[in-house]
Amino acid sequence: MKKFINAPGAVLTDALAGVAAAHPELKVDAENKVITRAGGTRAGKVALLSGGGAGHEPLHGGFVGTGMLDAACPGEVFTSPVPGQMLTAAQAVDGGAGVLFIVKNYTGDVLNFRMAAELAAEEGVTVETVLVDDDVAVQDSTYTAGRRGTGATVFVEKIAGALAEQGADLATVAEMAKRVNASSRSFAVALTSCTTPAAGKPGFDLPEDEMEVGVGIHGEPGRRREKLRTAREIVATALDAILDDQPLAAGEETIVLVNGLGGTPLIELYVVFNEVAATLTAKNVTVARSLVGNYVTSLDMAGVSLTVCKADAEMLALWDAPVSTPALRWGV
Amino acid sequence: MKKFINAPGAVLTDALAGVAAAHPELKVDAENKVITRAGGTRAGKVALLSGGGAGHEPLHGGFVGTGMLDAACPGEVFTSPVPGQMLTAAQAVDGGAGVLFIVKNYTGDVLNFRMAAELAAEEGVTVETVLVDDDVAVQDSTYTAGRRGTGATVFVEKIAGALAEQGADLATVAEMAKRVNASSRSFAVALTSCTTPAAGKPGFDLPEDEMEVGVGIHGEPGRRREKLRTAREIVATALDAILDDQPLAAGEETIVLVNGLGGTPLIELYVVFNEVAATLTAKNVTVARSLVGNYVTSLDMAGVSLTVCKADAEMLALWDAPVSTPALRWGV
């Protein structure tokens, strides 16, 4: 294993110290492993809290800031954060209007966030939860009952975050978050595995001429192994899976994320985006907004995920609203 | 070779089409391979033009936009763009106040930009050139007479770009660009090689327990091979090399870039940044501003480069000025 780390057990602590040093606009509670906005939550604003195992950076800490999350709780690499940590975070950011938990659908996360919601209720903090489960590749998987939550998390956090910033109440923000998730579908392909610091070796073996089609963000198996194909063919496979699950009619508008899984060069992500845009345009589907880059990663995995959100005018307006976080910033 | 591409010879063309589709605020001249701002250059504003081989994305096309570059000319992967391409770009963006060429110090780039400057002069376009040569690892190298140009390019483009946006004349913008370069030092370490689409295999072999210390952004050899060490020890080596070349006194202010070379997870970059910040802080040197992420990459190379710019108040103010590009955006 070759990594820029001090010790496998120190990665999260050291990285959080780095986040604190790099981003004075964030506050890092090193002891509890909670990242919040340095300025706290405006009184009366619904707070958004997310979290999950580390190794997916910039998710979630990189999305804390004006117009997006109020708090992020990272667990150890590919390991759920714990309920006490989430409770600490929820209490820290509750501005009196309640807290929305944004939870990627992995069993550990779901159980721990559920317990945290119960603990928060006992402490007088109102919590709503949205589960993100956008990955159409497999129904259940190693870490999951039901679909996995992946790239749509960025859409949910951005759009619901903008609505919360505008002063919407908890039920309204939660409903929008659910609507964005329900409108989003993802599919990923990996060319290599990834290596966690604790394991020290790749999570799976992938022959030099094969790819994992439908891979998960922890390297979970997908639908099948295939011989490597061209970017155009790979995009066709991914888009077919997405559109089979949620057809898009001519004239509909979308937000598209072409996401690198950590080890994929940006030039390749643009090659992929070109195929996605061309394919959707040929179907008279509009790519109204897009992101191309590393947003929901799997450590050093060479891979790409594609997320398509069928977006209405309200979602697009909220997407365009100002956001100021380490990983997404515009309009401010 | 496993890559998300259609064919090795189509990578640049496809990626440029992807950039055009993803960024309506940019204009991509596909035939001439030139990226400019969609809105063109404001009359009387000095234009900034950079370029170089592809494979270093987001450099340079990702830095085209308000407050930074006016044009970028990508060559094929790790191959200089050509003078005619640069001339086309210069003529496209000249707003009557001249064009600053920002050239990383690689022999091919230097020769081609020099010829383009001569051609531009014949066409009545006034050009000044700044060479970026910040990499202290080696004096000469495979591609270079003199030091290589790497991470400081981001600082030069940002700070000189802000000055041009404020209306400074060509001589003033060029002088600032040279001052930023002269104030910046870089050093990189690689854990793996990178694979160009044309070669189809890694540019060099690196044993499973070794790293290349002082590596270049095309995988050029550095100072030596060493056994892998901790992030703390690696940062100490890199910072020693940088500070040996440009000592920093207590109380001085810096802009620091911890840059991933394409295949390094963001969580590791934050581990590295933490060590850099702690080391500089212990010397009473201030990290006044910072960037942590993939800005000047080497395709899929797992590696990190560190760039430190000794920044005065004017540079810091220009750094903070609004910028709106695909890869850097704030204040707008």
> What are the tens digits of pLDDT across the range B162-184?
999 999 999 999 999 999 999 99
Omega before residue B8 within 30° of 0, cis: no
Q: CA-CA distances (angstroms) from residue B15 to A127, B10, B61?
A: 44, 8, 11
Portion 223-242 of B in contact with A at CB < 8 A: 228, 230-232, 234
Q: What is the pLDDT of residue A324?
A: 98
3-class SS of residue A31: coil
CB atoms within 10 A of CB B145: 12
**Rounded Cα–Cα distance for residues B219 and B203 (Å):** 7
Q: How many CB atoms lie within 10 A of CB A31?
A: 8
All residues of chain A having their beta carbon less than 8 Å from the beta carbon of residue B78 are none
Q: CA distances (Å), A189 to each of A194, A225, A259, A306, in order? A: 13, 10, 11, 9
Q: Nearest CB to A274: which of B18, B272, B299?
A: B18
pLDDT single digits (tens) A187-237? 999 999 999 999 999 998 899 999 999 999 998 888 999 999 999 999 999
What whole-number distance in Å separates Cα of residue A105 and Cα of residue A131? 6
Q: Do A22 and B270 touch (CB under 8 A)?
A: yes
User: In angstroms, what CA-CA distances link A253 with A284, A289, A290, B250?
Assistant: 9, 9, 11, 55
Please compute the mean of the pLDDT values over residues B48-56 and round it to a whole number: 98
- Interface check for A268 against chain B (CB to CB < 8 A): the answer is yes
Q: Is B78 left (phi over 0), alpha (psi -120 to 50) or beta?
A: left
Q: What is the DSSP letter of B216?
A: -
Residue numbers in B near A264 (CB within 8 A): 4, 300
Average of pLDDT values for A277-305?
Answer: 98
Q: Look at the block and give the residue holding tokens 């401010």.
A: A332
Give dist(CA A278, CA A275) in Å, integer. Answer: 5
Q: How far is CA A240 from CA A153, A214, B272, in A?
A: 21, 12, 40
Task: Please name the residues in contact with B180: beta carbons below 8 A apart, sequence gap of 6 or more.
Answer: B152, B155, B156, B159, B160, B309, B315
Give the residue from A141, A256, A259 showing the smallest Cα distance to A189: A259
Give the nearest partner residue to A19 out of B19, B234, B270, using CB atoms.
Answer: B270
What is the H or E stretch that residue B21 is in?
helix B11-22
Backbone phi, psi, residue A304, to 5°: -135, 135
Task: Show the tokens assigned to B321.
Answer: 């000025």
Q: Please tell me which residue of chain B has the smallest CA distance to A62.
A: B266
Query: Rounded to an integer, what distance in angstroms lies between the CA atom of residue A222 and that of residue B74?
Result: 36
Say what the pLDDT of residue A142 is: 73
> Helix %, strand %, coil % for chain B, to 5?
35, 25, 40
- The confidence score (pLDDT) of residue A139 equals 84
Tally Cβ neighbours within 10 Å of residue A266.
27
Q: How far apart are CA A308 and CA A13, in angstroms?
A: 34
Helix (H, G, I), strand (E, B) or coil at B118: helix
Q: Which residues of B113-135 are buried (b: 16+ CB within 10 A; e: fewer)?
A: bbebbebbeeeebbbbbbbbbbb
- Mean pLDDT for chain A overall: 97
Sign of the Cα torsion A280, A284, A285, A288 reads positive
Q: What is the pLDDT of residue A321?
A: 98
CA B207, B211, B216: angle at the middle one, nearest 5? 115
Does the reported pTM lie above 0.90?
Answer: yes
B19 phi, psi to nearest 5 deg: -60, -45
Contact B15 A55 (CB under 8 A): no
Residue type, B28: V
A60 tagged catalytic:
no
In a mutagenesis test of the B interface, which of A270, A294, A305, A324 is the best target, namely the one with the most B β-carbons within 10 Å?
A270
Structure tokens at B324: 């709106």
* Beta pairing partners, A141: A144
Residues of B known to be catalytic:
56, 218
Structure tokens at B273: 């940044």
A22 vs B17, B290, B300: nearest CB: B290
Smallest CA–CA distance, residue B139 to chain A, in Å, is: 26
Host H or E run for residue A270: helix A266-282
CB-based contact B179:B196 (threshold 8 Å): no
Torsion of CA B167, B169, B174, B175, to 10 degrees: -100
- The predicted pLDDT at position B141 comes to 73
pLDDT in tens, B188-204: 999 999 999 999 999 98
**Does residue A332 surpass a pLDDT of 90?**
no
Q: What is the pLDDT of residue B183?
A: 98
Give the pLDDT score at B221: 86
Predicted local distance difference test score (pLDDT) of residue A152: 98
pLDDT tens digits for B57-108?
A: 999 999 999 999 999 999 999 999 999 999 999 999 999 999 999 999 999 9
CB contact (8 A) between residue B266 and residue A294: yes
B332 has pLDDT over 90: no
Q: What is the pLDDT of residues B275-312, one digit of tens each?
A: 999 999 999 999 999 999 999 999 999 999 999 999 99
For range A253-265, the mean pLDDT: 98
| pLDDT at site A143 | 74
Task: Tell me the residue type at A177.
Answer: A
Query: What are the residue boundaries of the structural domains of chain B, listed by start?
Result: 8-182, 184-330
Average pLDDT over residues A179-184: 98
Q: How remote is the C-alpha of A29 from its chain's centroid?
A: 21
Of the CA atoms within 13 Å of residue B332, those in its CB half-sphere come to: 13
Provide CATH code, domain A8-182: 3.40.50.10440
The domain made up of A184-330 has a fold known as: Hypothetical Protein Tm841; Chain: A;domain 3 (3.30.1180)
Coil, helix or strand at residue A260 = strand
* Residue B207 buriedness (CB in 10 A; 0-12 / 13-18 / 19+): exposed
What residues of chain B, 41 to 100, have a C-beta less than 8 Å from chain A?
A: 54-55, 57-58, 62, 77
ipTM above threshold 0.95: yes
Of B163, B136, B154, the closest CA to residue B50 belongs to B154
d(CA B172, CA B154) in angstroms, rounded, equals 18
**How many Å apart are CA B319 and CA B160, to the nearest integer?**
9
Note which residues in 301-330 of chain B have CB less than 8 A from chain A: 302, 304, 324, 329-330
Please name the residues in contact with B306: beta carbons below 8 A apart, sequence gap of 6 or more.
Answer: B151, B186, B187, B188, B235, B238, B239, B242, B256, B257, B258, B259, B272, B276
Contact A319, A158 (CB under 8 A): yes
- Span A19-32, pLDDT tens digits: 999 999 999 999 99
Asked if residue B58 has a cis previous peptide bond (ω within 30° of 0), the answer is yes
CA distance A70 to A65: 6
Query: Average pLDDT, whole number, for chain B?
Result: 97
Residue range B114-130: average pLDDT?
Answer: 98
Tokens 């998390």 identify what position?
A: A153
Residue from the list B262, B271, B297 with its beta carbon closest to the beta carbon of A4: B271
Q: What is the pLDDT of residues A79-116, one digit of tens each?
A: 999 999 999 999 999 999 999 999 999 999 999 999 99
In B, which residues are within 8 Å of A239 by CB distance? none
| Structural tokens at position A262 | 């950590």
pLDDT of residue B74: 98
Other Cβ atoms within 10 Å of B226 Cβ, number: 16
More reliable by pLDDT, A140 or A226: A226
How far is A186 from A257, CA to CA, in rounded Å? 9
Q: What's the pLDDT score for residue A183?
A: 98
